[in-house]
Structure 1
Amino acid sequence: MSDADDEPPLLDDHRTWRRIVKQGQLTRLPEGVIVGAIRANYRCEGVDQDFVREMIVFISDRMLSILRSEISTKTFPDGGNDIVEAVHDAMLKALLSPTAADGEGLRKWFKPTLRNRAIDHVRRARAKMKLMPDMVDDPGGMVDPRTENFSEAEQEADVQRILNCLRGKGVRDVFELHMQGYRCSSIKGESISSILEIDPDTASKRLASAKQQLEKLIGRW
């Protein structure tokens, strides 16, 4: 990416997204922003779908990697592969559905959405097997397999609770716009600085502060 602050492009800026894919720069962007770009460009008239398919493959691989690290390999006869595949397939369908709540959930909070759906599937499998041991590995202490199923409202409330922990003038406002795909500055459309009526440097500093605080709270996004 050419911008000094490495902000992602607008979600529907398909030309820039095509260049990012071609240059192998997807790993530098949050998964949720990539999900937003996929949902904005998938089957969009006049948009070359080759780069969109590559983004889908990238996100699919990230899903599998996260799920395999979360599902216990010791409890199920197949090492949890059936559950991993079931969650992955369901979330991939949600990603590509413009009306799926989980598709929007992946855009807003990628890892928590995957983890919550993994817990749902694990509980169903546990009920069938009539087993009670922990089913989800949680080396980072972020997932509790004993927690009740999270509704969409509860999931959003949890994210809002985390965002409420952000400190500093305007820091939360900047980060919420960043998660919606806005850049700190842009000559092509609305940006964080134009929406909040602040200069781009201030927007960049507040975004950096938000990321530093969130890394301490929940690890890297």
Structure 2
Amino acid sequence: MIGQLPSRTDVRLHALDSIPPSLADKTVGQGKLLRTDALKSLLESSPIPEDGWVVIFDDDATFARSAPSKFLDIAKSAGLDLAGPAIEVGQPFSHDHTQVRPASVARTVQFVEIGPVVAMSPRAVQVLLPLPENFGMGWGLDVEWTQAPNITRGYVDATPILHHGKVGASYNSEVERKRLEEILESYGLQTITELLGWKQSWRPWERRAPWLASAER
């Protein structure tokens, strides 16, 4: 994953166990922490530039194509503030609308899942960070993100990822599910499916994303 990111990326890793020597220069934190606590520590370990994008990624995800990824370039071109790369067909996933769609460069959605990879534009960084304390693995935080105003959310289908791990296999998903249900109830929602699906797609034959073109009219 690191090799597929832009060459000047400020990479910050957290090691749950021992630190591999090859990653020592990029490892900022170490120890058994749940996801949001580890991410919060990484994000706050040094300032984020005002024009900087933040990409959060799990250790079991890589881009499907071996070359450096154009994920961020496409997310920027599509005007997305909160973006996920779509998951390649056949890979483990939590929600169907996160899977890659044919004949699509990118698409806008109401809900972008917190993992396994999610990117925030500088505007989203100002609105969605810092991460909250004691939020476990993060289930439900992405539901709260849907309430943030003036944030364009979407998935990039042109740069799919491979998800090498089984969803929720290494932690207590029941605790996470209970928190998710409480958050959904607080917004008057019964299930997360009420947030799923997509709005518009950017087709490969279109010069630019249709939601940007319509905004200029």
Instruction: Give yes or no for TM over 0.5.
Output: no
More strand by share: 2
Q: Give me the TM-score of the superposition, normalised by structure 1.
A: 0.26
Q: Which has the higher contact order (CA 8 A, sep 6+)?
A: 2
Larger radius of gyration: 1
Q: Give me the TM-score of the superposition, normalised by structure 2.
A: 0.27
More helix by share: 1
